[in-house]
Structure formats: structure tokens, C-alpha cells
Amino acid sequence: MKILVTNDDGYQSKGIVALTDALVADGHEVWVCAPSLERSASSHAMTLRQEIVITEFGPQRYHCSGTPVDCILYATRANLFKELPDLVISGINHGFNISTDILYSGTVGAAREAALTGMHAMAVSCSRDERGNYSFDRAASFVIDHLDAFYELTSPSCILNINIPANGNGKWLSGVPAYLDYHDAIDSQALKDSPGALSLMMKNTVYPSQRCDTEQSDFEVVNSGYTSVTALAVLPPVNEQVQLHLDRLSREEGHV
């Protein structure tokens, strides 16, 4: 299989190196186009009015000065690899991308852009163990073991979001997104040389918590020791109840 690998942690990150090495060892033709620097929490941001620089650092290996989405957008529009890959894998991300993380994640954003371009795609993330080490080899092995089965479930309208806990039980479950509270704190300091200006930095103080009663959420799945696999629609789903109300209002006002 021809597989394009990208991420949001940068082309030299340990996660993407572990994934690339595992895919090559499994016999796949692997291409890389990943950000030159870390671009975490980029979501679906793309560069429209600035120059993008794509640099070759090895055969079929490139890094891109833009966002994770730029890596897919520009690589495909510029025919960097002469043809489209069979599959795009974004990751392995340093840390989970679960529930509301999905909205912020550059890892998921790159996979979504691949699907919008008409390709099969999945995003892969993992957590740290008790010693602070990420479970990249464990995550890469999970991808290899399930690659064919999961590939069949992806399409231009659906990507898979996979999260592997470092100390998991070796099993996986399907999970669904839920609402999380992050309990972030903001460190604020006045800038002495700029009256009226504040220097702000966000700090993650405690582990997130789920603030809804969603059953078998991806958050609950990984916290129970299972790998979570979620099928994400590429286009945001419609709120059917509100949409029906809008349809009724438009008919009442004579627009239909």
C-alpha cells in the first residue's frame, strides 16, 4: 500500500518516525510530508496568503513550513508525489486526541483534509506511561495489526480517529466523542514596556473531565484501558431537530 504520513508534532518527532519505520518494515511504500516545526492545536487552519516552503529531506520525504492541513493541501495540489496515496495516516500524535480535542487537533485536521481531497485517512494518537514515555511502538503495532480492516472503513466521507493508551489492556472498543472540561488556568502578567498590554499563557493544571452523560465515549474507553476507535464524519453532522424547525419556519415565511 502507498501510505502518506503526516502529523502536527513536526517531521522529526518520535511519533512519526516510529510510525514510518513500522510501516516500512511491514512492506508498505511510505511517503512523508509533515510540518517543519510543531503545529499542535492547528485544527483545520491553512495558509492562504503567505508562501509555503516544502523541503526534501530524503527520498519521498518532505517537511512543510505550514500547518498539518497545508502538508496535505499543498503536497497534493503541487503533485509532490506524482499520484495520490492509497491512505493517509496522521500521527502518531504525542498525547490523546479525544472528544472535544478533535475540534482543536491538527492531527485530525490533516486526516480530514485528506478525506476532503478524496483519500482514505485515519488519525492516530497515544498517551504517556507512568514514567512519562509515549507508547509509540505499541501504537504503531496496533496500526499495523488492524491496517487492512480499518482501511476498508475509511472513505472520503469518514475518517477513523484512533487513541492508544500507554498502559492499555491490549483490546479496543469503538468510542464516540463527548464534551470535556479542561480546567485550564491562565497565567497573566502586565508587560512593563507596553502599558495596557498583558502577557498570557495557558496552563493545563489537571486532567480533563467529561461533562456530559455520553455512554462509551472515547474518553471513557481510553480511561478504562481500551484503545478507542471512532468513525468521524468529515462534514459536521446536522442537528436534525433544529434543522426540522428551520425547515418549518422557512415554509411558514413562504420561502418554499
Tens of pLDDT, residues 34-61: 999 999 999 999 999 999 999 999 999 9
**pLDDT category of residue 22 using cuts at 50, 70 and 90:** very high
CA atoms within 13 A on the CB side of 148: 3
Q: Residue 29: is its pLDDT beyond 80?
A: yes
- How confident is the model over 119-134, as pLDDT tens digits? 999 999 999 999 999 9
Q: Residue 90: is its pLDDT beyond 90?
A: yes
Match domain 2-178+214-242 to its CATH number in 3.40.1210.10, 3.10.129.10, 3.40.640.10, 3.40.50.1470: 3.40.1210.10
pLDDT at res. 175:
97
pLDDT at res. 205:
67
Q: Bridge-partner residues for 202, per DSSP?
A: 186
Residues 107, 214: Cα–Cα separation, whole Å: 24
User: Which residue in the block uniquely carries the three cell numbers 485544527?
Assistant: 43
User: Which residue in the block uniquely carries the three cell numbers 496552563?
Assistant: 203
**pLDDT category of residue 256 using cuts at 50, 70 and 90:** low
Q: Residue 112: is its pLDDT beyond 90?
A: yes
pLDDT at res. 192:
81
| 24, three cell numbers | 516500512
Reported pTM: 0.94
Mean pLDDT of 151-175: 97
Q: Residue 189: is its pLDDT beyond 90?
A: no
pLDDT at res. 153:
98
Mean pLDDT of 156-161: 98
Q: 135: which residues sit within 8 A by CB, 6+ positions away?
A: 126, 127, 128, 129, 164, 165, 166, 167, 168
Percent residues over pLDDT 90 in the chain: 88
pLDDT at res. 35:
98
Mean pLDDT of 106-119: 98
Q: 254: which residues sit within 8 A by CB, 6+ positions away?
A: none
Domain with CATH 3.40.1210.10 in the chain: 2-178+214-242
pLDDT at res. 141:
97
- How confident is the model over 210-251, as pLDDT tens digits? 999 999 999 999 999 999 999 999 999 999 999 999 999 999
Q: Residue 187: is its pLDDT beyond 90?
A: no
pLDDT at res. 77:
93
Across 98-215, the runs of DSSP E, i.e. the strands, are: 120-126, 158-164, 172-174, 180-181, 184-190, 198-204, 209-210
Averaged pLDDT score across all residues of the chain? 95
Residues 36, 13: Cα–Cα separation, whole Å: 10
